[in-house]
Amino acid sequence: MKKGATVFTVRDYANDKKQYEDTLKKIKQIGYGSVQCGTPPFMCESELKAMLDDAGLETCSAYADLEQMRDNPEAQKKAVEAAKIYGVKYICVGTLPDSQRECAEGYKKYSADLNAVGAELAKEGLAVMYHNHAVEFYSFGGGQNGMEIMYKETDPSLVFFNLDTHWLASGGVNPVDWIYKVKGRMPIIHFKDYAIGGGAEMVEGVCKRFAEVGEGNLDWPAIVAACHATGVEYAVVEQDICRRCPFESLKMSYESMVKFGV
């Protein structure tokens, strides 16, 4: 497994070309070999690729909007061009629209869209990859939830997953179980810990927070072992909110990943 970090973690330090360049070099200095990022509005793909090369980093996926790729051939063409400039196979898409999150049909429709876009990308030697949050574990009763529907309804040869350890735990499932479940369909995983704070005003309150790898409640030896066993290619640290300098958070997570055998 290769160790990576999302630029999203340090987004406050990537607001222009100079900041972005400095940030990439800091990520490299920590020890990471790859980043996951979209193309910022102040750069084109070729500029970012040159900046990554200069920093000694690779990127592991491109980003695009599924609905735009589904409805607009030009948007799909642009996503394909970006992926080829970066030299990646996977185009990552985010969470499904609000209107589809609380009905089984919404997840089935989104799965059909993933399959359709995935089929088009496959013609270019590429694949679509879905990044989960917690909302996909909305339960429809009888043990069925949105994520189960997406897993069953999407074509394993066309649609891949970029699961996130924190959001799996937040969705009420065991991250290890899902890592094994999507074996062969997850080239990239997001590592961030799921921690409980002590500031709840009522005992029923849950003060959950994002945390550096190894600083929360997740079973990292088991997670890392599952990733190795299932062929995950990139373990990418993503911490949405840091309670300290985000570069310090990235360093802490890196050191924990080394300790846990990534």
Condensed to tens digits (0 to 9), the pLDDT of residues 117-165 reads 999 999 999 999 999 999 999 999 888 999 999 999 999 999 999 999 9
Q: Which amino acid, one-letter code, is at 72?
A: N
Quick: pLDDT tens for 167-205. 999 999 999 999 999 999 999 999 999 999 887 777 777
Radius of gyration of the chain (CA): 18
| Strand pairing class (2-6; 144-145) | unpaired
The contacts of residue 223 (CB under 8 Å, 6+ apart) are: 165, 175, 176, 179, 191
Number of structural domains in the chain? 1
Domain boundaries, position 15: 2-260
Global confidence as pTM: 0.96
Strand segments, DSSP code E, in 122-187 are 127-131, 139-141, 144-145, 159-162
Quick: pLDDT tens for 27-54. 999 999 999 999 999 999 999 999 999 9
7: CATH: 3.20.20.150
**Do 6 and 242 meet the contact criterion of CB atoms below 8 Å apart?**
no
Q: So what's the pLDDT on residue 98?
A: 92
Q: So what's the pLDDT on residue 101?
A: 93
Relative orientation angle of helices 73-86 and 104-122, to the nearest 10 degrees: 60
What residues does 159 pair with on adjacent strands? 128
Q: Which amino acid, one-letter code, is at 249?
A: S
d(CA 216, CA 253): 11
**pLDDT beyond 80 at 9:** yes
d(CA 252, CA 260): 12
Q: So what's the pLDDT on residue 1?
A: 96
Q: How far is CA 116 from CA 20, 47, 66, 91, 119, in A?
A: 34, 31, 10, 14, 5
In the chain, % of residues over pLDDT 70: 99
